[in-house]
Structure 1
Amino acid sequence: MKRFFSETYFNNPENKKALEHYPLIGDGKDGEVYRLTHNKCVKYFFKKETCKKELEALQLGYGSPVIPKLYEYGDHYIVMEYVKGTSLARHIKKEKSLSVKLTADILNMLDELKDIGFARWDAEIRHILMNEQGELKVIDHKRAFSTVTRVPVKLLKGLDKYGLADEFLNTIKKLNPSRYREWRREL
């Protein structure tokens, strides 16, 4: 497989300028994401420690249907699957509702994150991506092992912003009554 960057490429801060030739598709306090090809992107991290935390989660989740594929990494970067689609936040902003199927898919996604072994199996709605086939992928896992989750508070908070938290919980109540009761006890 062709490597995009050598192991120590970004140890020289000047080399980060090479990423400016690629489209910037996301940025935040921890780094920037650039699209490399039709199916790969690179996440450049400002701090090695943050990159290491995200890498650990991607390695543990390798092969999971809800985790982007990992292709290459170094001290400050991770090349991973580019998920072509939209965020759950954009989807619900447009649709203004959650289908029963999407709610079931979200519940399965949360279970998968738990099964992988993440302590934080909750996700913000902007970090849940829906690919063109409607499959869910979760990005931004730097806190996968440092934050313990018992209830998907971040997910519910995001859904509540669009007035959909109650609809989501009512569907969960029908799909999985015991999970609903468990979450209600914790909320």
Structure 2
Amino acid sequence: MNHYEQYAGVTFEQHGQETRVTAYHPDLELHGIGRSAAVFRIKATRLVIKVFFPGYTHIAAEEAVIYRTLEGLPQFPDLYEAGPTYIVIDYIEGKTLFECLIEGIWIDPAYIKQVDEALMAARRLGLTPSDVHLRNLILTPEGRIYLIDLARFRQGQQVDHQWEDLKRMYRVYRLRFMPKRYAERWLNGVAYLYRTFVNDPRR
């Protein structure tokens, strides 16, 4: 029995290149909208439901397989349910590393090490981590790192170097004279140029 299927009946509308949420269950709270799905926190729980846009619903099954493969690893949310258009996983309280840069929150080397350990563990299970970026790395108040948005961890796909490139930039970030806080517009501009000219994970 699917306990959370009632929450998957989300209505979307397309406005040019943008997908908007127009209606959803009253027990849900919109948490964020990405390239292929909208994420809602289920009120009075520690869970989120990720509902995929029309045209992207096949990703629900792909991502569910990846979460099941990673089950038990401490750096990844647990999967509770999956359906044709959605998955239900842990709600992770914290800030993305992208938000940390905007707010000037120090990104400690220990956090980078945690990401490396998580990616290594995923590779040992036969996955190919890809498209690891600052928006899908969450730092909790306790100093733990979680990785989310795992659809591009599929087996056998081409390896990308995005995380290694981020680590090269991190070595510059750590220098004493470098700023530790950045404007969101500037970070978005850098990300756009990187995807366009260096590493587009959608290709």
TM norm. shorter chain > 0.5: yes
Q: Which residue of 1 aligns with 2:141?
A: 132
Return closer, same or farther for 1:94/1:113 CA change in 2, 3 Å cut-off: farther
- Over 4 Å off, 4+ runs: 9-14, 156-160
> Secondary structure, in 3 states, of the residue corresponding to 1:62?
coil
Q: 1:67 & 1:51 partners in 2: Cα distance?
A: 16
Number of aligned residue pairs: give it: 161
Greater RCO structure (CA 8 Å; 6+ sep): 1
Alpha-carbon distance change, 65 to 26 in structure 1, aligned in 2, over 3 angstroms: same
Is 1:44 aligned to 2:44, yes or no?
Answer: no
Distance 2:106 2:10 in 1: 47
Contact 2:61 2:82 in 1 (8 A): no
The CA deviation at 1:167 is 5.2
Greater share of strand = 2
TM-score scaled by length of structure 2 = 0.66
The 5 A counterparts of 1:83-102 are 83-95=92-104, 97-102=106-111
Matches within 5 A, 1:102-117: 102-117=111-126
8 Å CA contact retained: 1:68, 1:80: yes
* Aligned CA distance change for structure 1 residues 166 and 110 (closer, same or farther; 3 Å): farther
Match of 1:175 in 2: none
Q: Could you tell me which amino acid in structure 2 is paired with residue 74 of structure 1?
A: G
Task: Determine what percentage of the aligned residue pairs are the same residue.
Answer: 20
Task: Rate the CA distance shift 1:100–1:120 in 2: closer, same or farther, 3 A.
Answer: closer
- TM-score norm. by structure 1 comes to 0.71
The alignment partner of 2:77 has SS state of: coil
Q: Secondary structure at the match of 2:151?
A: coil
Q: 1:89: how far off? A: 1.5
Residues 11 and 24 of structure 2 are in contact (CA less than 8 Å); yes or no, is this contact kept in structure 1? Answer: no
CA-atom RMSD in angstroms:
3.1
**1:147-170 per-position Cα deviation (integer Å, ceiling 9, x unaligned):** 3326xx32345567xx535457xx
Distance in 1, matches of 2:121 and 2:153, equals 13
Change (3 A) 1:68 1:12: closer
Any stretches of 5+ residues in structure 2 without a counterpart?
13-21, 175-203
Structure holding more helix per residue: 1
- The equivalent residue for 2:87 is 78
Question: Amino acid of the residue matched to residue 50 of structure 2?
Answer: K
Following superposition, the deviation at residue 96 of structure 1 comes to 6.4
Greater Cα shift, 112-121 or 68-77: 112-121
Q: C-alpha displacement at 1:19, in angstroms?
A: 3.2
Q: How does 1:126-165 map to 2 (within 5 A)?
A: 126-145=135-154, 147-149=157-159, 153-158=161-166, 164-165=170-171
